Chain A
Amino acid sequence: MTEITLYHFLVISSLLFSLGLYAMITRRNSILILMGVELMLNAANINFVAFSHFGNFGASGHLSALVIIVLAAAEAAIALAIVLNIYRTFNTVNADEADKLKE
């Protein structure tokens, strides 16, 4: 039985981050892009908690994680509201079709 070390956490979190990034770049549906963002935020959370656990930083890592969770909730709320408005205006949630500004 191998001991779970910092290394494992970092691998998991980088995998999660990469998946989020991949979703963000490839998906055109803005809701899916948002989900990718959430994944990336959680990857960062795992990193914070892991470093806090293995390093000698007290509880500051945990606190940062908590802040990010709250932040993520707020971000989700605002972003979904924006998406809703985009849908109302353009009748689609595809990010590249909302390109009025470019014209």
Chain B
Amino acid sequence: MNSEFLSTIAIIALFAPLAGFVSTLLLKKWTKNAHYAEMFFIGVNVVAAGTLLVMTAGDLHTLHIISSFNWIQFPGITFELGFQFDSLSIILLFGVALISFLVHTFSLQYMHGDKRYSRYFAYLGIFTFSMNGIVITNNLLMMYIFWELVGLSSYLLIGFWFEKTSASDAAKKAFIANRFGDFGMLAGILLVFVTFGTFSFDGIKEGLLSGILPFNSGFWLSVMGVLLFCGAIGKSAQFPLHVWLPDAMEGPTPVSALIHAATMVAAGVYMVIKIYFLLSADALLVIAIIGALSALIPATIAFTQYDIKKVLAYSTLSQLGLMVMAIGLGAFGNAFFHLMTHAFFKAGLFLAAGSVIYGMHHEQDIRHMGGLKKYMPKTFLAFAIYTLAISGVPLTSGFMSKDAILNATMIYGSLTGNWIFAVVGFGVTFLTAFYMFRLLFRVFIKGNITGVEHHISHGHKVHESPNVMVVPLLVLAALSLFPFFSFNPLSGENGWLMKGMNFASSAVPDGLRYTFMALAGTSVTGYTESYFEASHHYHYIAMALSLLCALGGFGLAYTVYFKEKVNTETYKAKFRPVYTFLYNKWYFDELYEVIIVKFTLLTSRVLFWFDATVVDGLVNLTAFLTRKVSDLGGLFDKYVVDGFVNFTAMFTGLIGLFMRKLQTGKIQTYVAFIVVSIVLLFFFYARQ
């Protein structure tokens, strides 16, 4: 393949959204249609990314482009920027571009009439640019740069309606929570650089394979992995930094779809997959535990929430937790598969929620919704497909990818004897199906039908969204079906995506990695034989169990919310403490309020005291001394220096008084002086 041509396309794909950002900002002074510049460039991005995917689809295994150039050079240290196109980046690049394009299209209508319409599109452009940067980079430093850019654009978009206090608070919260994670990631990157002297993934891998370990200890290798993973905890909103994501729903709904469901939160997962080769077994276990917690906790919160976007946000958290857990269990490919399928149907869910909110005139509380199927049939259709997909019902993409992850948890269980992750996985599947069908039933089929009719009878129209919003929904719904990922609806393993993936191959030395993971270069797939045996053994068991869980969740939701046989209020009353605990999101916000906010305030008060007494005291003392010294200097100036100057002036004046007597101002006198002087001179010369 002509790699120079591919590089050019890659560069176009990377920079097109940036061009859109700049041109939209420049043009918005003159025209109200500046957003078409952004639309154009995002289109360019999709076409370029699509071309890349098509041209390399034949052999995704191969590393297509890897090119880098020196960015900063110091004696002995060189910082490089560069691209690396393996199957992961090519697929994700296209996925990001496609979803971004659909969200752009959706926003054309959804954001119509907003007073910062063009700026909104410009922000989407800078976001897509930074996301592209994360996807195509070949080193950690460049990734960190774009990582921060993504954080910035997320901050800008969450706080897009910054007149609302809640929105600007949510933006700040997201930014600060991300700072915590990024701090760990930066420490990890520094540790990498100190150890290996390079930032590039290949360089690290080579170093690791040649036996270099940080501080020569396996423990520090684990620390390095966990530190780098901290970045993902922040960006992918993993426990314990997950609190920012539900609040981020204050941003415009298409932004939630693009950033907080499909792409940015996936960046953390993507980053961990990129560095999987340096993760030791201990680090992976930490990752798996964090992932399991992040999958379970939000899933329990999700079914107590009433805000349609909040439910989806918690479901996103839970799904991201599943992916991270899968990585922790060694199933990188499955995690990436789920990342891709989830990106499509979760973006779709959010856009559908946006469509509902738009149709209901900015109503987000599901207690005020019901029977919307009648009024918004297309949105309902799309939403139903997404719900099936996220719940893991066969014939959808979500079924294949979730099944792959559940299979991985069972393999892990059988190989290590630790079944807890499998239990978490199936539990989460059950909960997911339950709260998603709860949402579907309450919003579209049953629910508060009388309330909506009442609403309509008062002259408020509840209507289907215009086509420019519905078409992206239907496209995403189509992409949530199985044929786009694998032609066998029961197994994603043989689909093009899983086949094309560069499978996990660990570079961690023997004894530090999971026993079932093969060393890089020794195995094509990255796993040992026993792993595959277990995989085949548990494939259908996992599938059956996952179906059972999904059906269980569906059945429960069906009984409670469709048949309405159970009065939820009585159960709420019966389990009041548990319900309150879940409804208040496990009191994480309150906990952080105490731990972080109060602690910070206390620290700042102590520091203020220190500042006011010690530092200010020192400064004041210095000022006092300086004043005294300058007083002395002033005296010296006044009496000695000035005295001397005045004396000189006075002396000159005296001489002048005397000399001016000679200057009569009469020319005749001067001439007489001259003549007399000359005569005298002659006289003296003549005497000699």
Residues of A within 8 A of B (CB): 21, 24-26, 28, 30, 33, 95-96, 99, 101-102
Q: Is the interface of B mostly helix, strand, loop or mixed?
A: helix
Contact B671 A25 (CB under 8 A): yes
Contact A99 B665 (CB under 8 A): yes
Contact A102 B665 (CB under 8 A): yes
Cβ of A95: which chain B residues have Cβ within 8 Å of it?
A: 666-668
Cβ of B665: which chain A residues have Cβ within 8 Å of it?
A: 96, 99, 101-102
Contact A102 B668 (CB under 8 A): no
User: CA–CA, A86 to B111, complex, Å?
Assistant: 85
Query: Which of A24, A99, A101 contacts B668, CB < 8 Å?
Result: A24
User: CA–CA, A21 to B672, complex, Å?
Assistant: 9
B485 to chain A, nearest CB (A): 103
User: CA–CA, A28 to B667, complex, Å?
Assistant: 9
Among B666, B667, B675, which residue has the most Cβ atoms of chain A within 10 A?
A: B667
Contact A21 B675 (CB under 8 A): yes
18 sampled A-B residue pairs with Cβ under 8 A: A21-B671, A21-B675, A24-B668, A24-B671, A25-B668, A25-B671, A25-B672, A33-B667, A95-B666, A95-B667, A95-B668, A96-B665, A96-B666, A96-B667, A96-B668, A99-B665, A102-B663, A102-B665
Interface residues on chain B, number (Cβ under 8 Å): 8
Cβ of A24: which chain B residues have Cβ within 8 Å of it?
A: 668, 671
B260 to chain A, nearest CB (A): 88
Cβ of B663: which chain A residues have Cβ within 8 Å of it?
A: 102
Among A33, A96, A99, which residue has the most Cβ atoms of chain B within 10 A?
A: A96
Cβ of B666: which chain A residues have Cβ within 8 Å of it?
A: 95-96
Return the CB mask of B405-417 against A: 1 if under 8 Å, else 0: 0000000000000
Closest to A21 in B: B675
User: CA–CA, A102 to B667, complex, Å?
Assistant: 13
Cβ of A30: which chain B residues have Cβ within 8 Å of it?
A: 667
Cβ of A102: which chain B residues have Cβ within 8 Å of it?
A: 663, 665
Cβ of B667: which chain A residues have Cβ within 8 Å of it?
A: 30, 33, 95-96
Q: Is the interface of A mostly helix, strand, loop or mixed?
A: helix
Residues of B within 8 A of A (CB): 663, 665-668, 671-672, 675
Closest to A96 in B: B666
Cβ of B672: which chain A residues have Cβ within 8 Å of it?
A: 25
User: CA–CA, A34 to B601, complex, Å?
Assistant: 95
User: CA–CA, A71 to B671, complex, Å?
Assistant: 20
A6 to chain B, nearest CB (A): 19
A51 to chain B, nearest CB (A): 18
A4 to chain B, nearest CB (A): 26
Top 9 A-B pairs, shortest CB-CB distance: A102-B665, A99-B665, A95-B667, A96-B666, A25-B668, A24-B671, A25-B671, A25-B672, A21-B675
User: CA–CA, A64 to B280, complex, Å?
Assistant: 108
10 new A-B contacts, CB < 8 A, other than A95-B667, A96-B666, are A21-B671, A25-B671, A26-B668, A28-B668, A30-B667, A95-B666, A96-B665, A96-B668, A99-B665, A101-B665
Cβ of B668: which chain A residues have Cβ within 8 Å of it?
A: 24-26, 28, 95-96
User: CA–CA, A56 to B672, complex, Å?
Assistant: 35
A86 to chain B, nearest CB (A): 12
User: CA–CA, A96 to B668, complex, Å?
Assistant: 9
User: CA–CA, A25 to B671, complex, Å?
Assistant: 7
Closest to A95 in B: B667
User: CA–CA, A100 to B48, complex, Å?
Assistant: 89
Among B663, B671, B672, which residue has the most Cβ atoms of chain A within 10 A?
A: B671
A75 to chain B, nearest CB (A): 15
Closest to A101 in B: B665
User: CA–CA, A99 to B666, complex, Å?
Assistant: 8
User: CA–CA, A102 to B663, complex, Å?
Assistant: 8
Cβ of B671: which chain A residues have Cβ within 8 Å of it?
A: 21, 24-25
User: CA–CA, A101 to B663, complex, Å?
Assistant: 10
A100 to chain B, nearest CB (A): 9
B681 to chain A, nearest CB (A): 16
Cβ of A96: which chain B residues have Cβ within 8 Å of it?
A: 665-668
B674 to chain A, nearest CB (A): 10
